[in-house]
Structure 1
Amino acid sequence: MFNKIKNPYLRFGIITCTATGGIILLLILSIYMGAWGKLPGKQELSDFNYQRASEVYSADSVLIGKYFLFDRQPITYESVPKNLIEALIAIEDERFYDHSGIDYKSLVRVAFKTILMQDQSAGGGSTISQQLAKNLYPREKSGKLNLAISKFKEMIIASRLESMYSKEEILMLYLNTVSFGDNTFGIESASLKFFNKSAKELELQESATLVGMLKATYSYNPRVFPKNSTTRRNLVLQSMYSNNFISQKAADSLKLLPLQLDYRDYDYNEGLAPYFREEVRKQMLSWAKAQREKGLDYNIYTSGLKIYTTLDSKMQLLAEEAMGQHMKALQNSFEKGYGKRAPWIRDQKLINKIIQSSEPYKKWKNAGLNEKAIMDSMNLKKEMHLIDWNTDEIRSASTIDSLLHYLKFLNTGSLSMDPKTGAVKTWLGGINFKHFKYDHISQSKRQVGSAFKPIVYTAALENGISPCTYFSAQEVAYENMEGWSPSNSGKKDEAYLNYSMEEALSNSVNTVAVKVLEKTGIPTVIEQARKMGIETQLPSLPSLALGTAEIKINELAGAYASFLNNGRSVSPFLIQRITNEKDSIIETFKPVVADKRAFSEETGQIMLEMMKATVNSGTAARIRSTYGIKNDIAGKTGTTQNNKDAWFVALTPKLLNITWVGLDNHEIGFSSTSLGQGANAALPIFALWMQKLNADNSFNYLTKAKFPTPNSAVMNQLDCDPVKRDGFFKRLFKNPKKKKTKDFNTGNKKA
């Protein structure tokens, strides 16, 4: 056939074209038959199970975080603004509604420009359907042949998609799977990340910015290259005019607008309530494991779950602000209090212990390095990112410098919750989640100090000891306890004073607390603690009265809730309900409230009145005097031995807050009681927070709530002089400087 063509050049050209066409036809046929890898069939294409990020919401419906491998939040066609669809079609596939997956006209244009005119900027001619195919089945190999094979595969898949789905469905499959860079997939996640708003709220110029990124997600990333992004956005706007979606006037005016981002990266270390989100993550992992044991496959990173929590985002934000405000000032005072005699500077024994317990030291020790080599390595200076409350910078520092730098940081744990249900409202697990991952609410057990005394006094009341029973404040040396002698930091003539229980509790008199414990009986107090929800093993020692027991914040909070919940303790909980990606409820969580009362209604009222006195005239009085807070508040301060732990518990009619402040290293305390006592170190976090809540009328339901008026019988029981002084003759024969000696009665001695 070709021999009839006499012109050799024409004959060669026809033979070449025919052979090339045949090869291409055979290649397409082989691809279609699966010779280059199996193509997805209709069954596979009809069921997309792409990974979805799980979302965490506050109780006031604010998205506070996500758990994901790939940040993706699929949405429906109705949730996408018309201007975004038009922008996408204008710049990516202007004949989208006219083709069936392959735009042959565009392919011819690209072939002509690329092959004949050698124009490398001609583009690829891929339709949105082909790009969707590429998103769903990413290319695995490079090279010209593999590129051609991938292109043909995408055309075949695109045609199949077009035969199965409507144009609107294809658009949404594309918009829900396409990458926008920064590990973000899908238009909803991109909209939230770059503009902090849902896709349906996007302005036209914002839609154009996001659509413009699709050509090159890094080069046109508005965060990284704002100039490139603006240029690309304007090209999208011009294409919208060329395709009659907007007028030239509208395009020109929009091009003049500056690029305005509201970037919100869901960095797990940053953002609102990171410690809370981490605790929710841990609980969700346990939940998912339990579901798998039931045969239900839920993955918190890929199943697109929606986790609705108890957290109040506005209260949390104010709590974080209050914490930062106080802790910054306290850290400065703490370091000044020690000056050059600070243990992280002068205590070589402690410094050596810190170094030798560090991970770098252990790693090099296990590698076989000798002590000198290890220390040389750990003293080597390098560029290091170190933070404090004033700066966040790169410094030249050694590993040892870093260890000692972070050793001196004060930390905190602060929890607030609804005392009736245990629903957590705020959760401050520490000062900085990025650098201090340890959660002082759910993980840390610290001595609770005088914060344990209300449990002792509750047990006493329940066992018939009247609140107007007087106890001498004189110091006692207990001979059967190796001469242990608790003391007070009070008045000089305190040995002559006898306190009522109310006065002793409100002023946190240690000597009286121990005597109340002795009179009540250690086993009785421990049993009372159990009834109030304390599960931690408590020491059966007289020092229990002074809070030597180590208890977690969330456990102590559940016990204190009984004073506001008719004697019933509660378990703090964080998750209200879990739904699937369609918002259908999978599981709901109910409050866990104790079935039985831990104490009588009368005892509860008396204890509340005693703790009101702590705030009104006792150790927590600076809430009134310094911070001017007039809300109904009861409370208890706590300070442990050597000023290592500072506590404040605040009880309001509808809110319970517990705050702890100290150092992660138990060996370091505050340099003085005036600085490290609960009223100075912990109370201000609550006080500053309450000031902020008072300033916001939306919290009136909490801040203006009032305690119920106690009945007359309760008030009569408390109607006594707070302090009685020893009589003349008793004072005459008592030496206030001499300790009384006796054995401590460890049995259950009742009044």
Structure 2
Amino acid sequence: MALFAELVKALFTWIDSRLSPPIQQTSRTIGSNISQIVTTLVETFPQLKRFARVPKLLVRNPVAGKEKEYPLLHDRFILGRDRRVSDIIVDNPLVSKEHLSIERKNSLPNKPFVIQDRRSQHGIYQGNKKIDREFVLTHGDVLTLGKPEFANSVRIKFLNPPPLHISAAICSGYAILFIPILFLVLSGLAWVICPPVNPLPILERKPSIIYASNFTPLYKRSNLVYKEAKNLSEFPAFLSQAVIASEDSRYYWHQGIDILGVTRAIFINFKRNKFSEGASTLSQQLARTLFDSYVGGQQLNLLRKIKEAGIALKLETQYSKDVILLYYLDNIYLGENVFGFKDAAKVYFGKSVNKLELSEIATLVAMLPAPNGFDLCRNRSDASHKELVDRRNRVINLLLASKKITSEQADLAKIYPIQAAPSFCQYVNTRIAPYFADRVNQELQILLGEGAKRGNFFIQTSLSLEMQKQAERALAKIIDTEGISKGFSQGAITTIDPKTGRILALVGGVDYQRRQFNLVTQAQRQPGSTFKVFAYTTALEQGIRPEKTYSCDKLDWEGEQEPFKPCEHTNKKSLDMYDSIALSENVIALRIAKDVGLDNVVTTATKMGIKSKLRVNIQGKEKAVPRLILGHSEVNLLELTGAYAVLANEGIKTRPHAIKRIFDSSSCKDIQNVSTCRVIYSDNTETESRVLKPEVARTMTRLLTGVVERKDGTGNKANLPGVQVAGKTGTTNRARDLWFVGYMPNQFVTGVWLGNDENTPTSGTSTLAAQVWRDYMSRFIP
């Protein structure tokens, strides 16, 4: 709650700076009053204790000039001046030798402490009322020994806060009741300073164009000609009903802000301990769409919500509900640079909005919460397609529950397949580097937040068209030549510039038309022996020399049911780091990890860029286990390749990213020349950080060079004569995952994965992944 007090003060400072002088004084008065209310509420909340509760007595003796705390650890105490009989000694002339007793009454409910006067001369007072009989103490009670007007009267305070869960419930109750009221008040103040809403702004319906690094567009512009809707009757009744049922069931009952929805969202967010429920009404969503530059897409969520609510209140005072709903249906964002249901019907289903089937209407409404999260051309076995079907069916069920459709209509709509227009699917499937484009859209959302929905952007990416072409060719070739015989049908490749973190190529699968799941960014797979790099790097960081030898004998590790097997690729009794990593001996990597500590290995992997969960839950505690070193914890190809980029860049970490610059297409000197448009983001602002010492990274590169250059090295198939290549292979149980991540120092880092969508076994080896790497990267030898 203290956070809200600070937020209120900051908000009113911001509001005051934007008001004209005549109304500044009023704003300051209102702001001061609300701030005082918040502060008072904060101060009255019980203080929660982390440890065991112990009732206490605080005694302030003016004669001694200090306050002293006495824990009430026993059931009975005497307070007085006589040191021979008193447990709590107060040296004050107003205190009798035996002034009072404090005793726990086990016969009463909750076993409270009671206080009783022991025939003291000056008595016990609560305020001006003298206490002559037993007095049950409750948390926060303040009493005085002697009349309170006496200068030397002793003040005692009883502290016995309720249990933690009760205190938390009390605080939660205050918050749940108070915050919606505060939100409404702040939204009203935001209404005063928000921009005018009459007339409503007209959206610039220009698409966002994604370009490769050389400004070649990855897909074409939309050729839609927008015609503004004039009347709500231009949209089917089912559409209005579905939108209201799904997005704002109390639309016709509130005035722009749904207090019940806000309260529910606060309760849910409190339980989840994160901001996941927004409670935005249709009016607020429209405010966000039409006034995105004012509302802001990257600001603190709460402040953005307050701005939205302020505009929503103003919309509701100047327009009827039907007019607001009309503007919503005609302007809301629905993905693929499409605004409004009229255009969405044409783009996705190739028909006018009034000719949409009930199932198609429900599908478009189901896309509203995450318009860029679905592709209507996906294979019907795809998990994302199934999620869209579930969301569509939920909308249909809401219509049925509100008695807008019959059971027969609902059943028929649910069995209706989701099938986009062939023209739309053809457009989707002819895009250049579609998996890469998906990644760009994800980054755009992260960089611009809600502002990404507005469109009107030219996005220059880091994509190298030639590298993308060769990566796609190399992957298709290995699938065609080895896939059937070795039992794998999928693969993924990504290439990063280690100096900048820019993604130069990204192939997220073999066939985007069949499956849009991005195997570079979305697939979590066991990395096998590629993860051993982090154990070796940790050892080097701790000053262990690479020449140090480790036993090849089997290894017993406490907590493991069976010992780990001895070295499998050599007859030697011990190996140094150079030999062990080249041969990918498991037992040596495990001995190194045991030597340096598993938690330290996790720390190294994390600081090099692994964000996936590496520890496992054991009896309620997150722990690193030995099999982590053998690659049993899942990661994705992009983060693993990015971590290897730290080694290629001599210990400096850069964030893997696909967007170089974002231009505002509505602010160009020459619309035909993208570079003349206003730049609103540049990756020149990307920060880099040193996470490894240069000598550690260089030594690690020498170790990984042996993996590739030695004839007995597991990555020998990636060898490029005359060129230094460092890398590591990885194979998981039953060859389900075949990996090779390699790099040419300070130039390119490329990760390759081969396997199957269903995680089924293959008969291949990681040398196939190394072969793909060589076939692809040999085209780019400097």
**Which interval holds the TM-score relative to the shorter structure?**
0.3 to 0.5
TM-score under structure 2 length normalisation = 0.45
TM value normalised by structure 1: 0.47
Which fold has the larger relative contact order, with Cα–Cα distance below 8 Å and residues 6 or more apart in sequence? 1
